[in-house]
Amino acid sequence: MKVLVIGLDGATWNILLPLVERDRLPTFKWLMGSGVWGDLQSTFPFTTAPAWKCYSTGKNPGKLGLYSWCSFDVKNLELTVMASDPFRSREIWDYLGEYGLTSGVINLPLLCPPRRIKGFMVSGFPLSDYADYTFPKDLKKILVEKFDYKINPSEYILDPQHQLARKDRLVSEVEELVKKRFKVTEYLIKLYSPDFVHITLFYTDAIQHFFWKEMEARDKRFGGVIENIWRMIDSEIGKLLEQVGEDNNVLIISDHGFTGLKVTFCLNNWFLKNGYLNLSLFNILLSRLRVFNKKTLHVTRQLGLDKMLRRLIPPEKLMSLQQKILPPEVSSPELIWQVDWGSTKAVCVGECGIFLNPELNQKDYETLRTLLIREIKRIRNPKTGENLVSDVKRKEEIYHGEHLELAPDLIVIPNEGYRVYDSLMRGVWDFENSVWSAYHTLHGVFLACGPDIKNWGRIGDVKIYDLAPTILHMFNVPVPRDMDGRVLTEIFREDSEPAKRQVLYQDMVTEKILIKKKIKELKNQKKV
């Protein structure tokens, strides 16, 4: 093996640095003192999906068509959970395989179904434990029989709306998952001897979401949960590094950072209150009866039932009636079926993404975007006067690529400590923060150590898009020109091979043409 990447979902220097300074994380302390480390800037939105895919492809979401856990086609009202299938972009291990190098990928989110690669793959969330989650396929049987391997803990942890009644069970299950991830990694490294290995610990994210408040309050029962998890991970990383030896370059990364949550802002409630979003009483009723689909939506729109109601019933009474019928919380996948699209201007779907009514003409579209940017920037915390957001961006200001049309029309960038939520709640501001007491920040962690890495200490200006091209360069594999990141040449020792070598690039357009030409030749020879 030459490169080991350890992905720690939600790892943040806010937590790790104080623990390192108190000598609670000896492995981290040694790595930081022997290599380079600093902030890793995530993508927008700074959440698990799309961040991990931006890492593995070196590309921004506009080239991937991935902006959240779900893809929302507002024109056709289609919401789909993202997985590997929709992605046409290759990832680190695909490029390595083309040059005869083997890879092992363990528990990376959104690898579902697992891909055929030169090496092995064990998929992660959101795949079920009942699914075929390994390549080769028979590897699953080995992992289950030998390690009782699982992707997920009990299902209740997966739902942020679920009030956790048994937090002790959650903690013990996540601890068990962490230990098994490392045992499986050690086993598979011995079994396959891959050139490149990536392992992700996913549920560190959940632990911080659920237990941050207890940590800050120094709760007697759960106040030490977050520290204990990171101390265990530190110990397991140390054991893994002892096994793989000192001849390998190690990267520790996270998809985003974390901080305590001050308040949750329910953007769709704000849209509803200010007339940008209107609900359909008929659609709400049909949804509650579980008989709603695209056909019934078309019928209610064609008949103009909601227009008729708005003429007959005052707006305040109509909204009051809707609130009585609606459940306490409506998630965005349910909400899109309850919207009166004929009179709605904007809706929030996914992480901080605002979709405008696709029937707007270009002039009205731009006017509305300008208006919403101005109005949302003015929103302040009613208790403190702090601004809710640091910025609101048009999609073309953040993203670029062939899938830009699938992006939200506006992207809200909240200030640290604020969460912009897409579910419909009972009010605009949720100061109780439902179940989660912490949320993501833009900057995660980057740490690199090994025979090719400088002993430089803290560095800056590292972006999540830079990781894939840097890893490819470490293997002397040409970097595709359509990657958005750069090779982090400044991290390499001057006498190391990666520092001495010139960065190689490959033109993916030319490569695609060559592949098509080769396929055509094989067809002519009747070999395919």
Residue of 222 and 161 predicted with greater confidence: 222
Asked if residue 514 belongs to a domain, the reply is no
Residue 315: inside a domain, yes or no? yes
Residue 233 vs residues 26, 179, 207, 220, 458: alpha-carbon distances, Å: 11, 8, 13, 22, 22
Q: Residue 328: its pLDDT value, please?
A: 62
- Let me know whether 85 and 188 are in one domain: yes
Whether 440 and 256 have beta carbons less than 8 Å apart is answered as yes
Position 527 in a domain: no
Where is the domain boundary, 398, 432, 466? 432
Q: 271: helix, coil or strand? A: helix
Task: Name the band, by pLDDT with cuts 50, 70 and 90, for residue 325.
Answer: low
Q: Which domain holds residue 159?
A: 3-261+439-506
Mean pLDDT for all residues in the chain: 88
d(CA 142, CA 124): 17
Least confident of 6-20, 48-62, 283-297: 283-297
383 pLDDT higher than 80:
yes
Residue ending a domain, choose from 432, 461, 492: 432
Question: 246 pLDDT band (50/70/90 cuts)?
Answer: confident
337 versus 398: the higher-pLDDT residue is 398
Find the mean pLDDT for residues 509-514. 53
CB contact at 8 A, 473 and 479: yes
252 plus 267 within the same structural domain: no
How far apart CA 20 and CA 234 sit, in angstroms, is 10
Helix or strand (DSSP H, E) at 410: strand 410-414
pLDDT value, residue 69: 84
**Residue 517 placed within a domain:** no
Query: Residue 204 and residue 497: Cα distance in Å, rounded?
Result: 35
Residues 156 and 200 in one domain: yes
Encoded tokens for 46: 């700074």
Same domain, 93 and 171: yes
Q: Is this prediction's pTM over 0.95?
A: no
Q: Write out the two tokens for 107.
A: 């528990």
- 393 versus 342: the higher-pLDDT residue is 393
Q: Are 11 and 203 in contact (CB under 8 A)?
A: no
pLDDT on residue 310: 56
Do 268 and 414 sit in the same domain of this protein?
Answer: yes
Take residue 69 and report the two structure tokens written for it: 């856990």
The whole-number pLDDT of residue 294 equals: 55
Integer Cα distance of 439 and 10 in angstroms: 9
- The larger pLDDT score, comparing residue 512 to residue 334, is at 334
Question: What CATH number did the domain enclosing 140 receive?
Answer: 3.40.720.10
Percent above pLDDT 70 for the chain: 83
Please, which pLDDT band fits residue 24 given cuts at 50, 70 and 90? very high
Together in a domain, 228 and 95: yes
Least confident interval from 20-34, 310-324, 454-468? 310-324
Residues 296 and 372 both lie in one domain: yes
Same domain, 276 and 356: yes
Q: In a 3-state reduction of DSSP, which class is residue 252?
A: strand
Whether the Cβ atoms of residue 41 and residue 443 lie closer than 8 Å to each other: yes
Question: Do 241 and 324 sit in the same domain of this protein?
Answer: no
Same domain, 384 and 453: no
Write 212-220 long-range contacts (CB < 8 A, 24+): 212/258, 212/260, 212/261, 212/437, 212/438, 213/260, 213/433, 213/437, 213/438, 214/437, 216/260
Domain count of the fold of the chain = 2
Quick one: pLDDT band at residue 338, thresholds 50, 70, 90? confident
Same domain for 297 and 309? yes
Q: Which pLDDT value is given to residue 96? A: 98
Class of residue 343 by CB neighbours under 10 A (exposed 0-12, middle 13-18, buried 19+)? middle
Does any domain span residue 238? yes
pLDDT tier at 89, thresholds 50, 70, 90: confident
**DSSP code, position 149:** -
Residue 150 pLDDT level (bands cut at 50, 70, 90): very high
Asked if 268 and 202 sit in the same domain, the reply is no
Q: pLDDT at residue 399 above 80?
A: yes
